[in-house]
Amino acid sequence: MTLDFPTKVQIKEVGPRDGLQNERQFISTNKKVEWINMLSNSGMDYIEITSFVHPKWIPALSDAVDVAKQIERKEGVTYAALVPNETGLERALESEVDEVSIFISASETHNRKNINKSIDETLPIYDSIIKQANVAGKKVRGYVSTVFGCPYEGTVSVERVKKVVDKLLTLGVYEVSLGDTIGIANPKQMESVLNQLNFPTSTLALHLHDTRGMALANILVGLSKGITVFDSSNGGLGGCPYAKGASGNVATEDLLFMLQQMGIETNINFDEYIQASKYLQSLFSKQLRSHQLQIHS
Amino acid sequence: MTLDFPTKVQIKEVGPRDGLQNERQFISTNKKVEWINMLSNSGMDYIEITSFVHPKWIPALSDAVDVAKQIERKEGVTYAALVPNETGLERALESEVDEVSIFISASETHNRKNINKSIDETLPIYDSIIKQANVAGKKVRGYVSTVFGCPYEGTVSVERVKKVVDKLLTLGVYEVSLGDTIGIANPKQMESVLNQLNFPTSTLALHLHDTRGMALANILVGLSKGITVFDSSNGGLGGCPYAKGASGNVATEDLLFMLQQMGIETNINFDEYIQASKYLQSLFSKQLRSHQLQIHS
């Protein structure tokens, strides 16, 4: 039996948003900007630069407007940002991001804990945001978290995931990024979930945290199922400081290396990219979790 | 396309040998014994407890005879040890290990650097060892290192690997453990190599270092190809202190968790096993690389 893999994949860099948002250590605007510029120079063509969630909720990204204004905008790179509501969208549009993302949980409890609303209360808000964003010429991407498991509810039914994904696509997001928020998915489950989510693979992406080290194995399953878009974080930055062992997204450089070794094209220059990883590591006293960083330190 | 996985897998614990052998910090015999006893109690049924290589080459395991004598021998557990030559075999037999392993490289340069002999000079020695071990009622396992890449030669041809594996099986090893010594294998390569190594899958095992984080992804490919024996190391212990970023084997607890989540039986009790990991971690000041240890600390 031969596994089929795509010849080309797009990596979406979420380090500056998903990576930074839970960090207790505030990284200055200057440093964020320098870092993002290095990411831009690596060949990365999609970078989620910040979140326009209210600064009181995510102090780490309180300088969203400044970051968006100060970074170099490299030709061919999509600079995206997370928005939770209309106010966030307004600030994002003023900041001239290229694209916005919205987020919802497959788990009711997680949604409520995260944004203080039920799933059904959240969707109409996003309906409005998507319409407004589209009118302003911006595409909208949707994140669904807890697809493979929830820290509160445990198992999350695939039926529920299907409903939410379907709803988002109907409302007009161009892509849904399926999140393994707690890094609990296993490859057999990944295959099963992807089999059941009968949406065009071109509308799906994977966003996998690497808490238990299975992200690359799960991504391999995703590749074999025709998924060609994967979110990852520079240095593997991220994760919740309040949950034991919680770690960030799979490290971009680890994913990049695997893809390159497999002959799968990404347009990213590894040597340039790892410079960004090293720079990022220099901003933290803790060891970032990327394997490639250990080798290239 | 559905991936087929085995229903049952055997994990072979190599922490006390492959894990410890390159550690600069000497772990006392008492502590080694306590640790191995905990491993025995977890349901692990194969433990490579030490190496009878001359102590001057592997000082970390200079207490091989004492360890073998002092550990509890749990019913149903195979206690194995590495042997490089007849002297080593004699000591192993005196120490009443259940099984011995021998080792050779697929790469000529690596073999010479490792044991100061060519591959062709090494094989007759093992011919003799295997015969003697079998006469003494002991099975022999063969390790082939640098199967997927060599720190000196770079690429290693599959033809060369096939020759060495074939020779070992012909000489009478019951199983060949294919080693990714530098953690360089990628899943596409793993699939290709396993496709080309047309030996019965029951005679093959995988021994993958996790330097670049791809071990679990590569094991997944192995599982899909019908491999049912995997070597791993408690806490992910191991690796060469002289090679940048080199890390040990895939962590047993990370592999165990993935297998259990996939519904693949191992007979190992995770909760008992993680106690051994915690104990091992307590013996080192450095952070062991296992993901599960971070969660269960």
Architecture, CATH, for domain B10-296: Alpha-Beta Barrel (3.20)
Is the predicted pLDDT of residue B32 greater than 50, yes or no?
yes
Mean pLDDT of B249-262: 98
Mean pLDDT of A183-192: 97
Query: Nearest 5 degrees, angle CA B34-CA B35-CA B36?
Result: 95
Q: How many CB atoms lie within 10 A of CB B64?
A: 26
The nearest CA of chain B is from the CA of A112 a distance in Å of 25
Is the predicted pLDDT of residue B2 greater than 60, yes or no?
no
Is the Cβ pair B4, A2 closer than 8 Å? no
Is the Cβ pair A211, B295 closer than 8 Å? yes
**Tens of pLDDT, residues A243-269:** 666 678 999 999 999 999 999 999 999
| A287 contact residues in B (CB cutoff 8 A) | 287
Is the Cβ pair B214, A219 closer than 8 Å? no
Candidates B125, B216, B240, B283; catalytic one: B240
Query: In angstroms, rounded to a whole number, what is the distance separating the alpha carbons of residues A237 and A102?
Result: 21
What is the per-residue DSSP string for B36-56? HHHHHHTT--EEEEEE-S-TT
Is the Cβ pair A244, B4 closer than 8 Å? no
Is the Cβ pair A187, B214 closer than 8 Å? no
User: Touching check for B154 and chain A: CB below 8 Å?
Assistant: no
Is the predicted pLDDT of residue A3 greater than 80, yes or no?
no
What's the ipTM? 0.95
> Between residues 166 and 185 of chain A, which touch chain B (CB distance below 8 Å)?
184
How much is the pTM?
A: 0.96
pLDDT confidence of residue B69: 98
Is the predicted pLDDT of residue A59 greater than 50, yes or no?
yes
Active site residue B240: yes
| A5 contact residues in B (CB cutoff 8 A) | 188
Phi, psi angle pair for A203, to nearest 5°: -100, 0
Name residue, tokens 């015969």.
B131
Is the predicted pLDDT of residue B245 greater than 80, yes or no?
no
**Tens of pLDDT, residues B65-100:** 999 999 999 999 999 999 999 999 999 999 999 999
User: Touching check for A196 and chain B: CB below 8 Å?
Assistant: no
pLDDT confidence of residue B141: 98
pLDDT confidence of residue A242: 59
Q: Which of B195, B216, B233, B252 to mutate to test the interface with A (most CBs of A within 10 A)?
A: B216
Is the predicted pLDDT of residue A1 greater than 50, yes or no?
no
Q: So where are chain A's domains?
A: 10-296
pLDDT confidence of residue B246: 64
User: Touching check for B9 and chain A: CB below 8 Å?
Assistant: no
